[in-house]
Structure 1
Amino acid sequence: MAWECEDIEVKEEKSDYSDVDENASTRDYKQTRILDACSRKNIHVLQFLAVSRGGFLSDAIRRQAWPVLLGVNVDDHAGEKVGSDSWKTLPRHRDEDQVKLDVDRSFVYYPNDDTPEQLGRKKSELSDLITEVLRRQPYLCYFQGYHDICQVFLLVLPPPLRATAMARLSALRIRDFMLPNLAPAVAQLRLIPDILHAVDPALCAHLSRIEPYFALSDTLTMFAHNVQHYSDIARLFDVLLAREQVFSLYVFAQIVLRRRDELFEHDEPDMLHFTLSKLPADLDIESVITDAASLFTAHPPETLRSWRCSISSASTLKTARDVRVSAVQDLADGHAYFQKQHRELRWAETKEKTLKIVWANRTVIMAVVIGLGAIYFRDAPVWSKLATWLVPNGYF
């Protein structure tokens, strides 16, 4: 019954926000509704408000909405000015050298009005934030671009909430990217051609000459690596945190669909890859979000071929399908899913190595099999006939 009531609220809000404009009264009313949903931890309503024009409107409101969506208990941090420094005594994480290199080249696009001293302090805070998350969750593997996500959280959230929010995002929402290799991330990319094929088979066929690796940078970093305007990335984070994890792939697919004419001007695979790996400078974030939501509704992930055959049941795309569920999961749940995915990766690697060894030694293996068979079935001439047939026909 509780969820039915929330559904009624959302239906009511659709009439209020279906075409939100910039007048003060509309913004004030929407702000009131967001803050009310935050106070009641009503994720269902926040999900709709995040998609509607303007998202959560301001960083002041995001400081309340994002923790709710990530399941951060703000009361646990009430009164804190800074987080605990106990992480500094923990063992060094294996990836800290790479963290330092990435932090040194952070804050490229924003903020653009800081003094060198202010920027230096932000980089120091960013380094501490990333290092704390990794030392407290040492099983996670750092990936290049993780710092792009962290810097957005650093700019929006107050210091006491940052590490907890990033730890939950890392373990429960972007865990696929923090495994020992990128196989789960690549599996996610396979969904993009499926989405494109469902909407525009001709465009999908045109792009089939290249692998969907062009989307890796944006999907890994929640678009934070390539979006150059702070207001745009903060707005985009509103919806990516509010919707299930697979939604970022629909956002990317929608961007591709909007570039259809431009893409058909290129035939060379290298040029197609280059074009798709860079976001257009004039990207209309609001329109992309609205259209991506419609795209998701028309072609939900369970209708996609790769969803059924390529995405692990332990992938965040499936374990974080319901944001309300992931918000109440704890870090131990994320660790357990990580271990399951890690076992799957090791099994896949072992199987691949075994197949390569078998193929490389196929002549010897078959000779042994035929020899053993000839000994065991010494009165069955079929074995010698099999050997004389296999060799001339090019099997060995």
Structure 2
Amino acid sequence: MFVYSVFLLRIKLLHQLKETGVSSEEIQHHQYYNQVVLDVKRILKCFPPGINENIQADLQVKVTELIIRVLIANEGLHYYQGFHDIAITLLLVLGEEKSYSVLCRLSQSHFQLFMGPDMEPTMEILNLVYALVKNENRDLYNYLIRSELGTIFCLPWAITWFGHVLNDYETVVRLFDVFMFSHPWISMYLSNVVVLHRASDIFLTPCKMPLLHQMLSNVPDNLPFDSLITETEKLMRTYPPDVMETVVREMHAENIRKIKEEDEERKRRMEQRKAALQGKHTKAAIERWTPWSGFRNLRSQTAKVVALSVSVATFSFIYNYVRPNIEIF
């Protein structure tokens, strides 16, 4: 019965695709189709409680179609893991056609930064979280820097509008209402406010990257998001995005410089270890092939060279002049 209902749903969607001018072949042959299908299979967390399997299967097919339609309409944009979390929430709240229009618009404004050919712009803008923490709580900033935590912990917060990390559907919808009508960077500002709000928990966690990453990655559903949103709006007025843009760019450039220096230092140390190891092997080989044991006790490098030259000359004399006159029985 389940398979039959999904089959009927796909037939219905194929009919809808013809009406919208997008063919089923165009959908299924899109470069991101298989990736979207895989991601959507893991989307169960985003469904409100109480939805039965048939409706879930219906929504999974619809959200796949929604995402690919948006990508086809915006050829310069690329799919990223987490975009499906955005799409399913809009689909559940707005329905098929309205969610398509809204998602197209948001893809060109709020999510364009994340939908480039690589992650470089995304990783750059995440530095905004650290820049704001540095301005608001220097001790917390130093603690996070010392732990070498990085910004990966808040990546899903920003690119999914907290839809991937929160279990409470009503809270996610509330945040979407705010984000849709705010500056595209608001999810990063809220990420900063969440970090500042959890400062006491952070200081209670050992200053080690794995432990802090695990703690911050698990965002409690019972955070006071209404008051956090108010704090976010105040923070945006205090540190406007157009002012912070330069700070973020400089911080990202500094991070890249440090990474390059660390890589160069690591390569230099590897070369030194390699040279030292080769030197040990060379010394061991010379000692193994030394003609007499007394040669090893010579301290002067010049004496060793002279002794080795005499040894080679002696062997050469024996081989060329003495050996031919020796009778072999």
The corresponding residue for 1:250 is 189
Matched, 1:232 2:171: yes
Residues 203, 260 of structure 1: 8 Å contact kept: yes
Matching of residues 77-226 of structure 1 within 5 Å: 84-88=19-23, 90=26, 92-208=29-145, 209-226=148-165
Amino acid at match of 1:108: K
Residues 77, 116 of structure 2: 8 Å contact kept: yes
* Paired residue secondary structure (2:45): coil
CA 1:106–1:245: 2 relative to 1, 3 Å = same
CA 1:109–1:129: 2 relative to 1, 3 Å = closer
Matched, 1:306 2:247: yes
CA distance in 1, matches of 2:163, 2:64: 17
Amino acid at match of 1:215: C
Residues 263-302 of structure 1 show CA distances to partners (whole Å, capped at 9, x for unaligned) of 0012112111111222123212111101111121222234
Residues 317-364 of structure 1 show CA distances to partners (whole Å, capped at 9, x for unaligned) of xxxxxxxxxxxxxxxxxxxxxxxxxxxxxxx9xxx9xxx9xx99xxxx
CA distance in 2, matches of 1:96, 1:308: 34
Q: Pick one of 201, 205, 208 that aligns with 1:268.
A: 208
Q: Where does the alignment leave 5 or more consecutive residues of structure 2 unmatched?
A: 1-15, 269-329
* Paired residue secondary structure (1:108): helix
The alpha-carbon deviation at position 137 of structure 1 amounts to 2.2
CA distance in 2, matches of 1:259, 1:227: 16
Residues 143, 177 of structure 1: 8 Å contact kept: yes
CA distance in 2, matches of 1:248, 1:269: 23
Residues 22, 69 of structure 2: 8 Å contact kept: yes
* Paired residue secondary structure (1:185): helix
Q: Name the structure with the higher helix share.
A: 2
Residues 194, 228 of structure 2: 8 Å contact kept: yes
The alpha-carbon deviation at position 112 of structure 1 amounts to 1.5
The alpha-carbon deviation at position 170 of structure 1 amounts to 1.1
CA distance in 2, matches of 1:229, 1:281: 6
Comparing 259-268 and 278-287, the one that deviates more: 278-287
* Paired residue secondary structure (1:90): helix
The alpha-carbon deviation at position 311 of structure 1 amounts to 8.5
The corresponding residue for 1:375 is none
CA distance in 2, matches of 1:108, 1:307: 33
Give the aligned CA root-mean-square deviation in angstroms.
2.6
The corresponding residue for 1:331 is none
Amino acid at match of 1:138: E
Residues 46, 88 of structure 2: 8 Å contact kept: no
CA 1:310–1:164: 2 relative to 1, 3 Å = farther
Residues 78, 117 of structure 2: 8 Å contact kept: yes
CA distance in 2, matches of 1:301, 1:199: 16
CA 1:303–1:136: 2 relative to 1, 3 Å = closer
Residues 51-81 of structure 1 show CA distances to partners (whole Å, capped at 9, x for unaligned) of xxxxxxxxxxxxxxxxxxxxxxxxxxxxxxx
Q: Pick one of 223, 230, 251 that aligns with 1:283.
A: 223
CA distance in 1, matches of 2:41, 2:20: 22
Comparing 208-217 and 82-91, the one that deviates more: 82-91
CA distance in 1, matches of 2:178, 2:221: 20
TM-score by length of 1: 0.56
Residues 141, 179 of structure 1: 8 Å contact kept: yes
Residues 126, 154 of structure 1: 8 Å contact kept: yes
Residues 301, 307 of structure 1: 8 Å contact kept: no
CA 1:311–1:193: 2 relative to 1, 3 Å = closer
Amino acid at match of 1:286: D
Q: How many residues align?
A: 238
